Amino acid sequence: MRPLRWVLLLFLAAGCAASVNSNESQAQGGGQGEKLVQGVCSTCHRFSGEPESKFKLKAPDLMWGGRKYQRAWLERWLQGREENLYPNGYRWDQPGGAQKHMTLSKEDAVAVADYFEARLNDDRVKKNAIDLSQFTRQERDFGAQIYKDFSCLGCHQIKEDGKIIGGAISVKLYDSGNRYNVDWLYRFALNPQDFTPHSGEYLADLSGLGVRYLVGYLMTLGVEDHTYYEPWKSEYFQQADAARGAKVYRIYCTQCHGMEGRGDGPGAAGLDPKPAVHADLPLNIYPE
């Protein structure tokens, strides 16, 4: 009986090892996800290699797909639960318009998303490269203005007052806040040509702060009840000191706005429009 017992134990141990190896393979993005990506998705998308001109591609490159998309959105997209991203198709220079993307079952979509997360990373995209935890509504408004001033609206559609506006040349952005990972979007905004040359996405002459405004704005699009940072509710405002505020105002503001905030400081003479009259600001416009 003892030899039989040892054989049984060895058999069970081998089975456990095989199970562990199988689980590790799945965790690393192997299995069904890899088969689908290599056997189906790769007929249109590239998953390795250097960035290529858009005019040589059939569909967007996805070698950085694991960093680009939010997991929940990716699974919905693969199951056909999201609308087409390109109104006129990925290659606007080719006739035919947008084509319906193939769909997967929920199980297969999860497997492909696992593969994306495990295998399709990009060292250029740094985790927590941008912090939007203190992104304010005013910053969003700055970003919205940049979006229009830099003609992003010419190619990318957004929604304004419930209506779709903008050109239909490139990807829709009115749901970008639910689609992209913010770290990827930030790195992309620094230089889009690093990802897809000749995409039409030019290198905007933006400061670091401008990039923050633009990326933050895009990350609010499509997000219902987005929560903005309200600095007047922070711990710093709980320590407000009117005497200290008066000193700061005198040092930094009075040269234009005047000692009593009437817009008549020494620097106001050469300004047009004139500085704001702080003394007349109604208290009801301030946050509670």
pLDDT in tens, 246-275: 999 999 999 999 999 999 999 999 899 999
Mean pLDDT for the stretch of residues 64-84: 97
pLDDT score of 107 = 98
Q: Are both 133 and 247 inside the same structural domain?
A: no
Closest alpha carbon to 218 in 193, 167, 169, 184? 184
Mean pLDDT for the stretch of residues 91-103: 88
Mean pLDDT for the stretch of residues 26-47: 88
pLDDT score of 3 = 53
Rg of the Cα atoms in the chain: 27
Q: Are both 199 and 172 inside the same structural domain?
A: yes
pTM (2 decimals)?
A: 0.82
Phi (first) and psi of residue 107, to 5 degrees: -60, -45
Q: Confirm whether 154 is domain-assigned.
A: yes
| Tokens 């095989």 found at | 18
| Residue 226 CA neighbour count, 13 Å, CB half | 21
Query: What share of the chain in percent tops pLDDT 70?
Result: 88
Mean pLDDT for the stretch of residues 47-57: 96
How remote is the C-alpha of 114 from its chain's centroid?
A: 20
Q: pLDDT tens digit string along 111-142?
A: 999 999 999 999 999 999 999 999 999 999 99
Q: Are both 271 and 131 inside the same structural domain?
A: no
Q: Confirm whether 223 is domain-assigned.
A: no
Q: Are both 99 and 164 inside the same structural domain?
A: yes
Q: Are both 259 and 123 inside the same structural domain?
A: no
Q: Are both 79 and 138 inside the same structural domain?
A: yes
Closest alpha carbon to 88 in 187, 221, 200? 200
Q: pLDDT tens digit string along 155-178?
A: 999 999 999 999 999 999 999 999
pLDDT score of 22 = 45
Residue 149 has pLDDT above 70, yes or no: yes
Closest alpha carbon to 26 in 89, 94, 88, 118? 118
pLDDT score of 29 = 59
Residue 7 has pLDDT above 50, yes or no: no
Domain count, the chain: 2
Residue 20 has pLDDT above 50, yes or no: no
Cis-peptide, bond into residue 273, ω within 30° of zero: yes
Q: Band the pLDDT of 98: cuts 50, 70, 90.
A: confident
Mean pLDDT for the stretch of residues 56-63: 96
At 278, is the secondary structure helix, strand, or coil? helix
Q: Are both 210 and 241 inside the same structural domain?
A: no
Beta-ladder partners of 180: 69
Domain that holds residue 128: 31-218
Q: pLDDT tens digit string along 198-214?
A: 998 888 889 999 999 99
**Residue 162 to residue 164: CA distance in whole angstroms:** 7
Q: Band the pLDDT of 237: cuts 50, 70, 90.
A: confident
Residue 1 has pLDDT above 80, yes or no: no
Q: Are both 100 and 136 inside the same structural domain?
A: yes
Q: Confirm whether 211 is domain-assigned.
A: yes
How remote is the C-alpha of 253 from its chain's centroid?
A: 36
Provide the strand spans (E) within 161-287.
163-165
Residue 99 has pLDDT above 60, yes or no: yes
Structure tokens that stand for 89 in this block: 């198709």
Q: Are both 175 and 251 inside the same structural domain?
A: no
Q: Are both 188 and 67 inside the same structural domain?
A: yes
C-alpha torsion angle, residues 156, 157, 158, 160 (rounded to 10): 130
**Residue 82 to residue 73: CA distance in whole angstroms:** 8
Structure tokens that stand for 167 in this block: 């050109």
